[in-house]
Amino acid sequence: MTQTILEDIRAGIARRKLMDGIFAIGSLLTVLVALIVLLSLFLQLFVQGAPRLDWQFFTSFPSRDPEQAGILAAWVGSALVMLVTAFVAVPVGIAAGIYLEEYARKDWLSDLIEINVTNLAGVPSIIYGLLALGFFSRTLNLGESILTAGCTLALLILPVVIVTTRESLRAIPRGLREAAYAVGASRWQMIWDHLLPYSMGGILTGIIIGLSRAVGETAPLITIGALTFIAFLPDFSLAQPLEWLKAPFTVLPIQMFNWVSRPETDFQVNAAAAGAVLVVLTLLMNGLAIYLRYRYRQGLKW
């Protein structure tokens, strides 16, 4: 009697364990499919682009001769646009996140804003390009400049910065806020002395993830009129230190797109090399984000 019951139990356990095993293997396979596709793509890029990845490639302007062409204008353009993007998106995004999380009353209006911010993150990037073409480029008369591009991408990543700022603030326990208030801190003192330092890891992560998305954006920049062939760098002089903001520009993904669309096969190699640079750049940025998050979390516990 007891023996048969015990056997039943064992058979049941074996059956359930079998299910466990099947599911584990299935999940592993799906993970592998995703990983292998991605890795082979990267590998293809690197192998194909390898012959062009040298010093000359980074220090040359585009050229009609594939062997002479390089990404100097593109990476300088990307760097400058990112600088403007960060400069605009970081203060605005953090301030908006703080306002929504700490100051705004929790009512239908803040709910509406929250839904809209989340939705903005999902708006196709070319729509931002159209908005920027009309608003920055025409209405504000900023032209087809680095400033316009930076502001456009800043708008694009603003939702990411706002959402991660809010999430990092929300992760700080209520007890810590109350502790600060209880010794007589004002709201701003509480935010400045406590919330911001404690959430800095998360906020920085959001900024970098946002920027690494922005660095690969092409569509909105084509819409606002990024050039595809630039054989000069923005002028920089101490007399007019902000003049470069008005300069025309190109960026890495646009340069890459330009090469891909050329008929000569030699340009495809250049495209692959530029793609490899872009991938490495993005990976480095994400790696930095992970490192910063780790560094900031280390000293903090509550």
Smallest gap from Cβ 31 to other proteins, in A, equals 36
Q: Which is nearer to other proteins, 106 or 242 (CB)?
A: 106
CB 190 within 8 A of CB 177: yes
Between helix 196-214 and helix 72-98 the angle, nearest 10°, is: 140
Q: Which is nearer to other proteins, 184 or 263 (CB)?
A: 184
Smallest gap from Cβ 16 to other proteins, in A, equals 39
- Alpha-carbon separation of residue 255 from 121, 189, 218, 287 (angstroms): 26, 47, 10, 25
- Eight-class DSSP state of 54: S
Element (H, E) at 198: helix 196-214
Binder of other proteins out of 57, 136, 198, 249 (CB under 8 A): 198
Q: How many other β-carbons are positioned within 10 Å of the β-carbon of residue 237?
A: 8
- Using CB under 8 A as the binding rule, whether residue 183 contacts other proteins is answered as yes
Binder of other proteins out of 121, 126, 130, 179 (CB under 8 A): 179
Q: How far is residue 170's CA from residue 98's CA, in Å, rounded to a whole number?
A: 10
Length of the chain: 302
Residues 230-269 that bind other proteins (CB under 8 A): none
Residues 27-66 vs other proteins: string with x where CB under 8 A?
----------------------------------------
Residue type for position 28: L
Vertex 249 angle, CA 266 and 233, to 5°: 85
Q: Which is nearer to other proteins, 42 or 181 (CB)?
A: 181
- Using CB under 8 A as the binding rule, whether residue 111 contacts other proteins is answered as no
- Using CB under 8 A as the binding rule, whether residue 108 contacts other proteins is answered as no
Q: Under the rule (CB under 8 A), what is the footprint of other proteins?
A: 105-106, 173, 175-186, 189, 193-194, 198, 299-302
